[in-house]
């Protein structure tokens, strides 16, 4: 949430602003309790703003990148809620897969939690411009009223993941955007062929 000191560390003692975030936090508390009481080994991976191919831009759970890419690919305007200065820590989906493998193959002694992120802030306005540039799109960027519940800044600290699991993201945000753009364009071409 907006009250957490940035960058967010695993030790930050809060569940977040939303019921979704709070539920994830409570599940970690259960994992920790079971590790202490029953010796159950487990690992919690806290994914931050994952993006990549196959995110449905029409889903209510879709991330901003798939929505922007869908709009840029078709030349429609892109809406940013708020002033566009809000930040997110985006990570490409293939890095998420690599982090999962790193956690599964690690020697786990008890319960532990790790932030899975790049540790880099990108503003929503910067992101929108990157997407427009990637697609060489005619889409314009519009600003709308901020949505209730949206946090202003989100960036996390990947230090623990790096030190304990030896994991570092391989893909930059720009590289991930390029790969995701390719998928969007291939999908659009395949749908045209089906018609």
CA terminus-to-terminus distance, the chain: 45
Q: What is the pLDDT of residue 16?
A: 64
How far is it, in rounded angstroms, from Cα 20 to Cα 121? 22
Rounded to whole angstroms, the Cα distance separating 195 from 130 reads 30
pLDDT score at 176: 98
pLDDT at 2 (0 to 100): 55
Q: Residue 149 carries which DSSP code?
A: T
Model pLDDT, residue 37: 95
Instruction: List, in sequence order, every beta strand (DSSP E) within the chain.
Output: 42-47, 50-51, 78-81, 87-88, 91-92, 111-116, 122-123, 141-144
d(C-alpha 38, C-alpha 143), whole Å: 51
Encode 29-51: b = buried (16+ Cβ within 10 Å), e = exposed. eebbeebeeeeeebbbbbbbbbb
Provide block-wise average pLDDT over 10 residues at a time, the chain (195 residues).
78 73 89 94 95 93 94 96 97 98 92 96 98 97 92 94 96 98 89 67
> What's 136's DSSP letter?
T
> Looking at residue 47, what is its pLDDT?
95
Rounded CA-CA distance 69/66 in Å is 5
H-state helical runs in 1-123: 19-38, 64-74, 93-104
Q: Are 95 and 170 within 8 A, CB to CB? A: yes
């Amino acid at each position: 949430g907006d009250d957490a000191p940035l960058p967010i560390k695993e030790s930050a003692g809060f569940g977040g602003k939303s019921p979704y975030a709070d539920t994830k936090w409570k599940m970690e508390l259960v994992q920790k309790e079971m590790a202490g009481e029953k010796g159950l080994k487990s690992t919690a991976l806290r994914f931050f703003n994952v993006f990549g191919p196959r995110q449905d831009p029409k889903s209510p759970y879709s991330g901003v990148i798939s929505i922007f890419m869908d709009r840029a690919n078709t030349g429609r305007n892109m809406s940013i809620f708020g002033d566009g200065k809000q930040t997110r820590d985006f990570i490409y989906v293939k890095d998420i897969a690599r982090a999962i493998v790193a956690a599964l193959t690690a020697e786990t002694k008890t319960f532990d939690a790790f932030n899975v992120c790049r540790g880099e802030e990108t503003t929503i306005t910067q992101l929108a411009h990157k997407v427009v540039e990637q697609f060489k799109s005619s889409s314009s960027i519009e600003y709308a009223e901020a949505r209730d519940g949206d946090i202003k800044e989100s960036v996390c600290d990947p230090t623990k993941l790096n030190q304990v699991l030896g994991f570092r993201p391989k893909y930059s945000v720009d590289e991930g955007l390029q790969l995701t753009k390719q998928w969007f364009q291939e999908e659009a071409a395949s749908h045209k062929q089906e018609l």
